[in-house]
Amino acid sequence: MIATQPFGRTGHQSTRTIFGAAALGDASQDVADRTLEVLQRYGVNHIDVAASYGDAEERIGPWMGRHRGDFFLATKTGARDRAGAREELHRSLDRLQTDHVDLWQLHNLVDPAEWDEALSPGGALDAAVEAREQGLVRFIGVTGHGSAIPAMHRRSLERFDFDSVLLPYSYVIMQEPDYAADFEALAAICVDRNVAMQTIKSIAAGPWWGQEHTANTWYRPLTTQGDIDHAVWWVLGRPDIFLNTVGDVDLLPKVLDAASRFEERPSDEEMTNLTAQREMVTLFP
């Protein structure tokens, strides 16, 4: 089983690995149902999906009739205006077959112009606050990718008291001095305000660089259990953060197996050797 810890200020004890449901974007219902069995085997109790993840919300929907109480359920909107976000939320609720989600997140809020629209009057944030008042969502978060996102999340937290953030975090990414400095500054704010920190790209090895895609991820992932162990353990070696799992159902059991056996963070020497052996590079230079 995978250890749990408080998900920020929400009062929920979430497993330190959160199911990244992008893995179900183009999966059949049969594959999705078998994935549920894997999640149950490891005690995963937190699902993170998005309106833009293909059919993922529809695949999760049938689970909710029997298992809604077993999961902290999060989804995301990519809309930037109030009306569009509200419409997308209701579509998500219908697809997820639930009357509320525990966490609704403004998805990939990185572009400055989109950021300004979403967080200004009439923007998606207004829809989120309204939905919270109506009981359709319990908590509000913000997510993002790329090298600028730690700084953008700090800016977002200055504008609104979000309950969670989501961004990349791995040994390789944290070797970029500017990114690492911005991440640490964001982490300090999150600890001070009890904002949950979700992290992605734990097992990313680099771009595909024209290679044949052998996994359902937009990046080249680590694939052997030993390599995944080290990458996952390094992330989990930082207290108070969460690891959102890989977007590939075949690699998912390896990530969960690694998390279930976590004891301590690998040394920098071990991680440096892994980085060299697997030719790992950051996705966000």
Q: Is 232 domain-assigned?
A: yes
Q: Is 284 domain-assigned?
A: no
Q: Is 171 domain-assigned?
A: yes
Residue 111: which domain range?
Answer: 4-277
Query: Tens digit of pLDDT for each residue in 96-133?
Result: 999 999 999 999 999 999 999 999 999 999 999 999 99
Q: Which of 124, 104, 86 is nearest to 49 (CA)?
A: 104
Tell me what the pLDDT averaged over the chain comes to: 96
Residue 178 burial (CB count, 10 A)? 11
Q: Is 28 domain-assigned?
A: yes
Q: Averaged over 40-48, what is the pLDDT? A: 97
| Residue-level pLDDT at 210 | 79
Alpha helices, H only, the chain = 29-42, 56-67, 82-96, 112-118, 124-133, 149-159, 177-193, 225-236, 252-260, 268-277
d(CA 253, CA 248): 10
Q: Token pair for residue 272?
A: 């440096």
pLDDT of 285 > 90? The answer is: no
Q: Is 282 domain-assigned?
A: no
| Residue-level pLDDT at 45 | 98
- CATH number of the domain that residue 150 is part of: 3.20.20.100
Q: Are 246 and 255 in contact (CB under 8 A)?
A: yes
For 205-250, give the DSSP string: EE--TTPPP-SSSSSEEP-SHHHHHHHHHHHHTSTTEEEEPPS-TT
Q: Is 283 domain-assigned?
A: no
pLDDT of 208 > 90? The answer is: no
Indicate the number of domains in the chain. Answer: 1
d(CA 28, CA 138): 29
Q: Averaged over 158-166, what is the pLDDT? A: 98
Query: Tens digit of pLDDT for each residue in 248-280?
Result: 999 999 999 999 999 999 999 999 999 999 999
pLDDT band at 182 (very low <50, low <70, confident <90, very high): very high
pLDDT band at 53 (very low <50, low <70, confident <90, very high): very high
pTM, two decimal places: 0.96
